[in-house]
């Protein structure tokens, strides 16, 4: 039996394109509040028990770096990954504390930790690409450095049914925020000023914004009181099917990739700090969606 674990709306969209009829979908609200997670715990334990008892289980996860996906990977007979951007721009260094040692134990069958340890300052992307899996379902397969696994193309039309705006000026301007700990070294006031200019130049005089699902950053908190900003409620992927987007601003958010895949005419603009170095993998990924950058503080794009 094939099992697919979805932690986000993006995962659910990708699973829709690669799952066969009869596959088991396990959804977990990883970005919800702790109470909601606790309420889901009995169902998840049952799902993991089912995987462990299935001698022919084939588990599909985005990566094995959460407790749920690590445990599912540990219990699976066969493992595959689907693409959520970690392999392109997951340049955060691997954690080497107590949590890492537990994850090392849970994933040692699926990740080649000997090869990973030979890499100077290995990242999550390095670990993902040094894995013992069957397949890697990728949005942009040529950007994946194949290891011992097979790289397969995600059917983007199934995952992201395309919409084409009737007129670019008629679409909404959208800002996708990130968590406080992921914000680049920028001034909140400078970011708000850029977004205010976007709203002022838009025919509607409004900007639509989406806080990060796990945490509203200081920027999102400030936007709540701005009369020219409106919060997008509900899931991003579901909302994309019912609205036109002319431009999307973010700090290199994977959600911006989703927007571009659905709305081919939308412009993708990435906000960066002065002097910020962007990883090569991130550059290659966002080049695929013709992204431009705006330096926060001087508002000059390149």
> How many folded domains does the chain comprise?
2
pLDDT exceeds 80 at position 157: yes
**pLDDT digits over 5-57, tens only?**
998 878 888 998 999 888 998 888 655 545 455 677 888 899 999 999 999 99
Same domain, 208 and 129: no
64-72 mean pLDDT:
89
**Assigned token pair, 204:** 């509607």
**pLDDT digits over 258-275, tens only?**
899 888 889 999 999 998
Residue 198 located in a structural domain: yes
Same domain, 211 and 264: yes
CA nearest neighbour of 247 among 194, 189, 186, 183: 194
End-to-end CA distance of the chain: 48
Residue 301 located in a structural domain: no
Domain finish residue from 120, 137, 159:
159
Distance from the Cα of residue 75 to its chain's centroid: 25
**Assigned token pair, 253:** 């958010």
89/104 Cα distance (integer angstroms) = 21
Q: Lowest mean pLDDT of 5-9, 12-16, 159-163, 220-224, name the range.
A: 159-163
Same domain, 77 and 177: no
pLDDT exceeds 60 at position 184: yes
Instruction: Determine the angle formed by the axes of helices 67-75 and 34-53, rounding to 10 degrees.
Output: 10
**pLDDT digits over 71-91, tens only?**
999 999 999 999 887 776 666
Q: What percent of the chain shows pLDDT beyond 70?
A: 89
Distance from the Cα of residue 87 to its chain's centroid: 11
Same domain, 8 and 155: yes
Domain finish residue from 159, 190, 215:
159
The pLDDT of residue 242 is 79
- Give the domain extent around 145: 2-159
Domain finish residue from 126, 141, 159:
159
Residue 302 located in a structural domain: no
The pLDDT of residue 29 is 64
Same domain, 209 and 116: no
Same domain, 56 and 197: no
Looking at 36-156, which runs of residues are DSSP E strands? Answer: 58-61, 78-82, 135-138, 150-153
pLDDT exceeds 50 at position 172: yes
Q: In what order do the strands lie in the sheet with 58-61?
A: 24-27, 2-6, 58-61, 78-82, 135-138, 150-153
Same domain, 180 and 40: no
- CB of 257 closer than 8 Å to CB of 160: no
Highest mean pLDDT among 108-112, 141-145, 155-159, 229-233: 229-233
CA nearest neighbour of 252 among 229, 236, 276: 276
Same domain, 154 and 172: no
Q: Please count the other Cβ atoms lying within 10 Å of the Cβ belonging to residue 156.
A: 16
Instruction: Determine the angle formed by the axes of helices 254-262 and 9-18, rounding to 10 degrees.
Output: 50
Q: Please count the other Cβ atoms lying within 10 Å of the Cβ belonging to residue 47.
A: 21
51-79 in b/e burial notation, b at 16+ Cβ within 10 A? beebeebbbbbbbbbbebbbbbbbbbeeb
Same domain, 114 and 71: yes
pLDDT exceeds 60 at position 165: no
Residue 182 located in a structural domain: yes
- What is the value of pTM for the model shown? 0.79
Same domain, 77 and 199: no
Residue 298, CA distances (Å) to 77, 104, 206, 271 in order = 53, 44, 22, 11
Same domain, 23 and 104: yes
**pLDDT digits over 110-143, tens only?**
888 888 888 888 888 888 888 889 999 988 888 8
The pLDDT of residue 156 is 85
Quickly state the pLDDT bin for 300 (edges 50, 70, 90). Answer: very low
Same domain, 34 and 126: yes
The pLDDT of residue 35 is 46
Q: What is the CATH number of the domain that holds 225?
A: 3.40.50.10160
- CB of 231 closer than 8 Å to CB of 154: no
Quickly state the pLDDT bin for 225 (edges 50, 70, 90). Answer: very high
The pLDDT of residue 58 is 96
Quickly state the pLDDT bin for 163 (edges 50, 70, 90). Answer: low
């Amino acid at each position: 039996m094939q099992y697919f674990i979805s932690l986000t709306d993006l995962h659910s969209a990708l699973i829709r394109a690669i799952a066969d009829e009869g596959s088991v979908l396990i959804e977990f609200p990883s970005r919800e509040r702790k109470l909601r997670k606790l309420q889901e715990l009995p169902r998840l334990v049952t799902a993991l028990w089912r995987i462990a008892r299935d001698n022919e289980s084939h588990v599909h996860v985005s990566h094995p770096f959460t407790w749920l996906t690590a445990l599912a990977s540990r219990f699976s007979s066969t493992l595959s990954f689907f693409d959520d951007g970690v392999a392109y721009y997951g340049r955060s260094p691997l954690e080497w504390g107590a949590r890492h040692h537990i994850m090392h134990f849970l994933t040692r069958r699926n990740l080649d930790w000997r090869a990973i340890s030979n890499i100077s300052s290995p990242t999550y992307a390095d670990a993902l690409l040094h894995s013992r899996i069957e397949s890697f379902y990728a949005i942009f397969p040529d950007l994946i450095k194949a290891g011992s696994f097979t790289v397969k193309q995600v059917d983007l039309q199934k995952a992201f049914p395309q919409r084409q705006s009737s007129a670019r000026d008629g679409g909404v301007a959208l800002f996708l925020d990130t968590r406080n700990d992921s914000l680049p070294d920028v001034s909140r006031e400078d970011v708000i000023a850029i977004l205010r200019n976007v709203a002022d130049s838009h025919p509607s005089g409004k900007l639509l914004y989406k806080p990060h699902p796990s945490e509203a950053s200081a920027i999102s908190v400030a936007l709540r009181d701005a009369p020219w900003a409106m919060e997008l409620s509900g899931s991003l992927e579901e909302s994309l099917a019912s609205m036109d987007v002319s431009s999307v601003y973010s700090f290199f958010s994977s959600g911006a990739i989703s927007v571009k895949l659905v709305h081919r005419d939308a412009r993708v603009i990435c906000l960066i700090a002065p002097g910020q170095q962007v990883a090569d993998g991130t550059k290659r990924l966002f080049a695929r969606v013709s992204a431009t950058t705006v330096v926060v503080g001087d508002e000059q794009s390149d």
